[in-house]
Amino acid sequence: MTVTVPVALITGSAHRLGAQTAKTLHQRGWNLVIHYRSREGQARALVENLNRKRPNSAHSVQADLSLTADVERLANETIARWNRLDALVNNASVFYPNPTEAATEEGWNTVLNTNLRAPFFLLKACLPALRENGGSVVNMIDIYSERPLADHPLYCASKAGLAALTRSWAKDLAPDVRVNGVSPGAILWPEGNGETDKDSRQAILDKTPLARTGNPEDIAETIAFLICDAPFITGQIVAVDGGRSLNM
């Protein structure tokens, strides 16, 4: 008997939350396409690690999600690898301050194209394969999509747009494809910008009822639940934030 192995594409999965999500789905028996933009070494190392555990179970594809041609190529290469696609996790995003008075058209294009435009057109390109297999989509949102972070209007707008797309897709693509979102709170501190100083971090923890940061596993397990264990859930955005959204 031939065993069908489900396939997931996870964008931005060479490191951090995307990599943990890949490991979690792989443990559940999934084949993975690991997307990366510039972290080739980390992507290859992750793929090699996963393939050591289960041969021919992971593959990496480079793409710049701000470029339309790269988004289409990513979808085509993903589906061609195992001739199917069962889940899409739109995890990749860019995050940095863009105060309105200093914002540029280039900044607008970088943030909105990567965080909002790319998920839309990537799903569009993957939709026939997802429909064929009764697939699932999980979008990485952010608690700042509802209560904006100061000096990040472009980032917050992009995540608010992705939240709206999540709900719109859940209506439009049902019953063939389920679409949900995960909205992290303080899990991993941003790299190189944003809420990185000690006082800012403590202020965030002071507003978090569970009084601590979460773990990457908290996000990965929630994504895996929505994909694998929640056949009657669609159109929902799950806040995984230790209760912080209650006090923002």
Catalytic residues, by residue number, are: 155
Q: Which residues contact 135 (CB under 8 A, 6 or more apart)?
A: 85, 86, 87, 88, 129, 176, 177, 178
Q: Which residues contact 238 (CB under 8 A, 6 or more apart)?
A: 180, 181, 182, 183, 222, 226
- Sign of the alpha-carbon torsion through 43, 230, 212, 139: positive
Q: Tell me the two tokens of residue 87.
A: 């889940």
- Can you list the positions of beta strands (E) in the chain? 7-10, 31-36, 58-62, 87-90, 136-140, 178-184, 237-240
Q: Tell me the two tokens of residue 142.
A: 């952010």
